[in-house]
Chain A
Amino acid sequence: MALKMVKGSIDRMFDKNLQDLVRGIRNHKEDEAKYISQCIDEIKQELKQDNIAVKANAVCKLTYLQMLGYDISWAAFNIIEVMSASKFTFKRIGYLAASQSFHEGTDVIMLTTNQIRKDLSSPSQYDTGVALTGLSCFVTPDLARDLANDIMTLMSHTKPYIRKKAVLIMYKVFLKYPESLRPAFPRLKEKLEDPDPGVQSAAVNVICELARRNPKNYLSLAPLFFKLMTSSTNNWVLIKIIKLFGALTPLEPRLGKKLIEPLTNLIHSTSAMSLLYECVNTVIAVLISLSSGMPNHSASIQLCVQKLRILIEDSDQNLKYLGLLAMSKILKTHPKSVQSHKDLILQCLDDKDESIRLRALDLLYGMVSKKNLMEIVKKLMTHVDKAEGTTYRDELLTKIIDICSQSNYQYITNFEWYISILVELTRLEGTRHGHLIAAQMLDVAIRVKAIRKFAVSQMSALLDSAHLLASSTQRNGICEVLYAAAWICGEFSEHLQEPHHTLEAMLRPRVTTLPGHIQAVYVQNVVKLYASILQQKEQAGEAEGAQAVTQLMVDRLPQFVQSADLEVQERASCILQLVKHIQKLQAKDVPVAEEVSALFAGELNPVAPKAQKKVPVPEGLDLDAWINEPLSDSESEDERPRAVFHEEEQRRPKHRPSEADEEELARRREARKQEQANNPFYIKSSPSPQKRYQDTPGVEHIPVVQIDLSVPLKVPGLPMSDQYVKLEEERRHRQKLEKDKRRKKRKEKEKKGKRRHSSLPTESDEDIAPAQQVDIVTEEMPENALPSDEDDKDPNDPYRALDIDLDKPLADSEKLPIQKHRNTETSKSPEKDVPMVEKKSKKPKKKEKKHKEKERDKEKRKEKEKKAEDLDFWLSTTPPPAPAPAPVPSTGELSVNTVTTPKDECEDAKTEAQGEEDDAEGQDQDKKSPKPKKKKHRKEKEERTKGKKKSKKQPPGSEEAAGEPVQNGAPEEEQLPPESSYSLLAENSYVKMTCDIRGSLQEDSQVTVAIVLENRSSSILKGMELSVLDSLNARMARPQGSSVHDGVPVPFQLPPGVSNEAQYVFTIQSIVMAQKLKGTLSFIAKNDEGATHEKLDFRLHFSCSSYLITTPCYSDAFAKLLESGDLSMSSVKVDGIRMSFQNLLAKICFHHHFSVVERVDSCASMYSRSIQGHHVCLLVKKGENSVSVDGKCSDSTLLSNLLEEMKATLAKC
């Protein structure tokens, strides 16, 4: 519409707007492309105009064309022009076009940095918003680095609309510029408790995304999220948090235990299906992480399975799908509980919905047993026939193979059946999974000895049948099975019925159309086959026959020699020469068969996939060290792999040169055996030592399921697997009958000499005997090596860069890059000051540096330990299972743990909270009798406040560790007296209010008041409103549109015993004086008897100290400041102080937001800065029983007031 008006207002010569363009395209259905190219020409003309409105219109049309698939990158510069228009209307068009078409490769994107920065700081929230939205789509590493600091500032914007966008975009910034994560994280964490639900939700969103990739770094946030989970009513937030917990529980099983109860409650209480589903999902994750160690959680599993069944039975297909999806997760750890719903799942297999069938397929994996495997697979095979889409069919195929091969073919009783299933699967056209089938064929043929004969007959039929070869190019996938077929026929050629026939099949000219690697296997196995035919013929004395075969080889092999594939060519020419040599010998009537077959003597044993990795590296062997000095870089690259390859060759008898005669061979073999025996690192095939065909088949040591019974199966050609099902039924039936008979005539049976291994009277699953003698040869592993999956992470994972330890305090070097030339007033200087200061301070402090680093290390370690302890504590205080698991009291109890002190320490807490009265005493007590629990608890609390302090300490540019300029003996080093910055505001029988006032970092002259409300009654407190009478000097920031007299709602309700924190922003005009504001908290207390309206009056005391922000300062900068002479001076002295100097400093730091600049003996310099940029410098000296504080400040009134406050604090010491 707006565009229409634009159009109407100016009579342009190119008057086509977006609507006209769309209409035009719709009217030119026949020659759309031509019409559009005309339009593009017009647009190009329009873009040449000076009028920004015309340009914007053109760009708007381009955005539409981009959607239709037209490349508009040529207009990137014009888009930037429109982006920088002053009018929101055009700006929005520009940003939209940019977000649709810009990417990291767009070269002009770097031109946007300043424009975006300008828009971000625009006074109009929509300009900022549109810039953030656009940026979120095309942010590049450069943009992220340059703008990170600006965006971080916006995270504390007054308007929630901007805040939430800024918070959300931080995720993109982290992805592109991982270094920004640590500096920005404290503030992000703060936003989790933002008063605006939208901002809170955005912060949860970002942290969930981060934590999903690297959960372990976010474990320490678990208590906070737990609190949010129990207090939030926003389903979106709840879902995200619950999903996050699902990712965290595998790392910390105790967390899971804590979660089960509230989650179960939610499952019972919520009406939102989405929430219910996510709860079930997370409970499942918890149960998985607890594994089977917790027997009493079977109730939870039952609950989950029960709820899921309801979902699956629902008529809503979506719920059905999700139910199945979640069910498959339970399946992994608790298959039993899922198996009872087999009927339901089999039913879903017939669903008309493919997505649901796929999910049901997943579940089938755990449903099979020996009894029903054939039946289920038969059902799947009919689905395979019916399936049209290749994706679903391929999925079916892999599932069939998965199901059958799971846990070492545990459920297969008849391998002939399995082979024929595999053979049937080869008839699928266009599948991508030919290699899977091939791998299965090989695996089964190698590991199940008894099946080899049957397998070979099937494979030779496959080789013979033309259908796989027919159009090998089109159905590229399936011809992979020929690889397996050829290998099996070659390797086990002694089982072939008609080897000559197979040999011819393998030498057909069509074979050369196959992919190279398959041809190579053909060539190799043709020789094996040839060797065995030769032997047969010679033994039978048919010299002519033998010569004929040789002639066939000589005739046909050249077709492979001509192959373009190197491997095929090499093998073929090698073998051709060999065969020619044999031909010569044959002409002289020399028997050659023995020697030729010696080439392939020895059996290949399956080697476990990880066996090679498990070979221990012998001591003193450094695989990375050079054996010889590398010649040059390029050469050394090739050298290593070659060596490896060489070694491999030696290990395999097959690859050896074949010219050596029998004796030589034997001698070498002996020698090598000797060598291997002496070499402790040779992968010996023990426990199943390498066998040869000549040796007696030493199968005793192989775990063999010995069942001596087989149904005589004489199935010519390719049998259908279906008949096996029938046969199997018969067989089982017969087995059963015989068993019954046997029970009656046991003696008779013995006479017959039939061995039956099972004689259990009931037919259970285990009772079904396999049809073949099955010996699954176990895969070889080096001794003492256990198969395990170490999942190696993908090194290219973009999220790996975000795997950053967030608990470590920030180092000096970690700060967001800051625009250097910025026209902000100097009072807002921390951004500017600190880097400067740092540069200067580098020189003189070389000595100190080491010391400092050491200390930082120490601190880091300390902090880490503390963090861990805190989490431990939080996790370990599981409330005793309440008799009646009502959700409210239990969660209340929990969140009390996290928010304020529990009741038994109430007194302690109160004194702390109230401030300082008995601190010295309490501290003494603490020192004398270290009660571990208490201390931990205090630490936790301290941590909390500290965490807050930290975030507060952080000026946008200069980051954390600098916030603790510990130079010589930090106050943190000694045990700190436990303190809380929260002081009591007011209390009555219903509610207790404590508050903390801190300066806001972002806005001048603003302070944030965090009020913790604790419900002490047994009623639910709701409808809470806070009304504060503004003074001339201090005003409360209220939501837009509300008047000065309106109360500001508290964004939560309080169930009994629960406490929560709300934050309010106040604007202060003059900060040189302390002030008090009167306020009232009104609320409705509701209990069983009814609801009453209650009020609680309070007075907010803004002390001068609360206007100070802990700001780090280096000693040289400090000295400069003092020298400048702009500061007025004042001092106080307090007598009768017994407290140690260390603690004294800590107290000043804590209560008055100072930081220690330097400390020498009993004298220390301290620094702080007000929210309006006043510098405050202190010199604290301790004498005998007295302390004197000299202060310098740019405002004398502020200084004197501050010193008064300090005096009051010190007087209590």
Chain B
Amino acid sequence: MIKAILIFNNHGKPQLSKFYQPYSEDTQQQIIRETFHLVSKRDENVCNFLEGGLLIGGSDNKLIYRHYATLYFVFCVDSSESELGILDLIQVFVETLDKCFENVCELDLIFHVDKVHNILAEMVMGGMVLETNMNEIVTQIDAQNKLEKSETFIFQSPRQDR
């Protein structure tokens, strides 16, 4: 199971947080801070696994992260997930973002957190990996976007919606 997925930048500012276990908002912020603290002090060329922080912790859990330019992608998982598999999954996630946003950068994530959530929802559901095939994910996202567009169009034309 994946317990949480966090994206934050080099300053610890969250760009996306997805918790698959309920925590209060305060605890969530605390977890983000703590995770940032743990992850940010690590060198570039050390391993991508961290034995969990205290909050989200439990001895079973691990933090698996990747650092891309200004962003950290952190997955907190328990022992049923394969470490290298999750690293691959992060890669797939980032590549999918790249495809959907066309050369993704931090600003895309900052301004379109809802879209990032939608993409993530096609990959991980309720803490379990749903799909790892990038093409499949992109197809579904495109189809949903198309649906959304068509709705906006309908919505736009009559103008009496108000």
Given contacts A67-B14, A133-B121, is CB(A161)–CB(B25) below 8 Å?
Answer: no
Please state if A53 and B161 are interface contacts (CB–CB under 8 Å).
yes
Interface of chain A residues 1 through 28 with chain B (CB within 8 A): 2, 5-6, 9-10, 18-19, 22-23, 26
Q: How far is the CB of A30 from chain B (nearest CB, A)?
A: 16
A-side contacts of B118, CB under 8 Å: 92, 96
The one of A9, A139, A202, A322 that contacts B130, using a Cβ cutoff of 8 Å: A202
Given contacts A67-B16, A274-B84, is CB(A352)–CB(B43) below 8 Å?
Answer: yes
B40 within 8 A of A: no
B-side contacts of A60, CB under 8 Å: 114
A212 within 8 A of B: yes
The one of A71, A88, A321 that contacts B148, using a Cβ cutoff of 8 Å: A88
Write out, one digit per residue, whether chain A residues 311-341 have a CB within 8 A of any chain B CB (1) or not (0).
0000001101110000000000000000000
B-side contacts of A158, CB under 8 Å: none
Among B18, B25, B112, B127, the one with the most A-chain Cβ atoms within 10 Å of its Cβ is B25
**Which of A203-211, A257-265, A465-473, A659-667 faces chain B?**
A203-211
Interface of chain B residues 102 through 137 with chain A (CB within 8 A): 110-114, 117-118, 121, 125-133, 136
Interface of chain B residues 14 through 69 with chain A (CB within 8 A): 14, 16-18, 20, 22, 24-26, 28-29, 42-43, 45-51
Q: Complex Cα distance A66/B22, Å?
A: 13
Smallest CB gap from A137: residue in B: B126
Please state if A236 and B132 are interface contacts (CB–CB under 8 Å).
yes
Given contacts A67-B113, A87-B151, A212-B80, is CB(A353)–CB(B130) below 8 Å?
Answer: no
Write out, one digit per residue, whether chain A residues 220-232 have a CB within 8 A of any chain B CB (1) or not (0).
0000000000000
Q: Complex Cα distance A212/B29, Å?
A: 31
Please state if B144 and A88 are interface contacts (CB–CB under 8 Å).
yes
Please state if A88 and B128 are interface contacts (CB–CB under 8 Å).
no
B-side contacts of A277, CB under 8 Å: 82-84
A576 within 8 A of B: no
The one of A51, A89, A136 that contacts B152, using a Cβ cutoff of 8 Å: A89
Q: How far is the CB of B97 from chain A (nearest CB, A)?
A: 15
Please state if A274 and B47 are interface contacts (CB–CB under 8 Å).
no
A-side contacts of B88, CB under 8 Å: 274
Given contacts A69-B28, A70-B25, A356-B47, is CB(A161)–CB(B83) below 8 Å?
Answer: no
Please state if B45 and A317 are interface contacts (CB–CB under 8 Å).
yes
- Chain A binding surface SS class: helix
Q: Complex Cα distance A355/B47, Å?
A: 7
Please state if B128 and A69 are interface contacts (CB–CB under 8 Å).
no
Please state if A172 and B126 are interface contacts (CB–CB under 8 Å).
yes
B-side contacts of A208, CB under 8 Å: 80
A-side contacts of B49, CB under 8 Å: 318, 321-322, 355
Q: Complex Cα distance A1113/B46, Å?
A: 65
A243 within 8 A of B: yes
Q: Chain B: interface residue count, which band? A: 35 or more
B-side contacts of A126, CB under 8 Å: 143-144, 147
Q: How far is the CB of A36 from chain B (nearest CB, A)?
A: 13
Q: Between A and B, how many residue pairs show CB distances below 8 Å?
A: 165
Please state if A168 and B125 are interface contacts (CB–CB under 8 Å).
yes
Q: How far is the CB of A1154 from chain B (nearest CB, A)?
A: 40
Smallest CB gap from B28: residue in A: A69
Q: How far is the CB of B82 from chain A (nearest CB, A)?
A: 5
Q: How far is the CB of A853 from chain B (nearest CB, A)?
A: 38
Smallest CB gap from A197: residue in B: B133
A-side contacts of B136, CB under 8 Å: 198
Q: Complex Cα distance A1105/B20, Å?
A: 47
Please state if A209 and B47 are interface contacts (CB–CB under 8 Å).
no
A1072 within 8 A of B: no
Q: Complex Cα distance A67/B131, Å?
A: 25
A384 within 8 A of B: no
A-side contacts of B18, CB under 8 Å: 100
Q: How far is the CB of A75 from chain B (nearest CB, A)?
A: 13
A-side contacts of B112, CB under 8 Å: 18-19
B1 within 8 A of A: yes
Please state if B46 and A51 are interface contacts (CB–CB under 8 Å).
no
A64 within 8 A of B: yes
Q: Complex Cα distance A321/B46, Å?
A: 10
Q: How far is the CB of A667 from chain B (nearest CB, A)?
A: 54
Q: Complex Cα distance A19/B107, Å?
A: 11
A1153 within 8 A of B: no
B-side contacts of A322, CB under 8 Å: 49, 83-84
Q: How far is the CB of A589 from chain B (nearest CB, A)?
A: 62
Q: Complex Cα distance A990/B101, Å?
A: 49
Q: How far is the CB of B36 from chain A (nearest CB, A)?
A: 13
Q: Complex Cα distance A60/B87, Å?
A: 30
Q: How far is the CB of A916 from chain B (nearest CB, A)?
A: 44
Q: How far is the CB of B131 from chain A (nearest CB, A)?
A: 6
Q: How far is the CB of A338 from chain B (nearest CB, A)?
A: 20
A-side contacts of B28, CB under 8 Å: 69
Please state if B85 and A51 are interface contacts (CB–CB under 8 Å).
no
B70 within 8 A of A: no
Please state if A318 and B125 are interface contacts (CB–CB under 8 Å).
no
B140 within 8 A of A: yes
Q: Complex Cα distance A69/B30, Å?
A: 9
Smallest CB gap from A5: residue in B: B152
Please state if A317 and B140 are interface contacts (CB–CB under 8 Å).
no
A523 within 8 A of B: no
Smallest CB gap from A95: residue in B: B121
Please state if A67 and B50 are interface contacts (CB–CB under 8 Å).
no
Q: How far is the CB of A120 from chain B (nearest CB, A)?
A: 14
Q: Complex Cα distance A679/B37, Å?
A: 61
Smallest CB gap from B16: residue in A: A67
Interface of chain A residues 337 through 361 with chain B (CB within 8 A): 352-356, 358
Q: Complex Cα distance A201/B118, Å?
A: 21
Q: Complex Cα distance A278/B46, Å?
A: 22
Q: Complex Cα distance A137/B130, Å?
A: 14
Write out, one digit per residue, whether chain A residues 33-76 have a CB within 8 A of any chain B CB (1) or not (0).
00000000000000000010100000010011011111100000
A-side contacts of B143, CB under 8 Å: 126
Q: Complex Cα distance A674/B136, Å?
A: 82
Please state if B85 and A239 are interface contacts (CB–CB under 8 Å).
yes
Interface of chain A residues 747 through 793 with chain B (CB within 8 A): none
Q: How far is the CB of A104 from chain B (nearest CB, A)?
A: 7
Interface of chain A residues 124 through 174 with chain B (CB within 8 A): 124, 126, 130, 132-133, 136-137, 139, 161, 164-165, 168-169, 171-172
Please state if A353 and B46 are interface contacts (CB–CB under 8 Å).
yes
Q: Complex Cα distance A100/B18, Å?
A: 7
Smallest CB gap from B153: residue in A: A5
Please state if A18 and B111 are interface contacts (CB–CB under 8 Å).
yes
A381 within 8 A of B: no
A720 within 8 A of B: no
Given contacts A53-B161, A206-B128, is CB(A89)–CB(B46) below 8 Å?
Answer: no
A-side contacts of B130, CB under 8 Å: 164-165, 168, 198, 202
Please state if A317 and B161 are interface contacts (CB–CB under 8 Å).
no
Q: Complex Cα distance A288/B5, Å?
A: 34
The one of B80, B132, B148 that contacts A2, using a Cβ cutoff of 8 Å: B148
Contacts from B to A (Cβ < 8 Å): 1, 14, 16-18, 20, 22, 24-26, 28-29, 42-43, 45-51, 80, 82-85, 87-88, 110-114, 117-118, 121, 125-133, 136, 140, 143-145, 147-149, 151-152, 155-156, 159, 161-162
> Would you list 10 pairs from A and B whose C-beta atoms are within 8 A, ordered by A residue?
A64-B113, A71-B24, A137-B126, A161-B140, A168-B128, A198-B130, A236-B129, A274-B82, A354-B42, A355-B49
Beyond A89-B151, A318-B47, A321-B47, list 6 extra A-B contacts (CB 8 Å): A66-B25, A68-B14, A70-B25, A71-B25, A92-B118, A96-B114
What 10 pairs between A and B have smallest CB-CB spacing? A136-B126, A274-B84, A317-B47, A103-B22, A353-B46, A69-B29, A321-B47, A9-B156, A133-B121, A89-B148
Contacts from A to B (Cβ < 8 Å): 2, 5-6, 9-10, 18-19, 22-23, 26, 51, 53, 60, 63-64, 66-71, 87-89, 92-93, 96, 100, 103-104, 124, 126, 130, 132-133, 136-137, 139, 161, 164-165, 168-169, 171-172, 198, 201-202, 205-206, 208-209, 212, 235-236, 239, 243, 273-274, 277-278, 317-318, 320-322, 352-356, 358
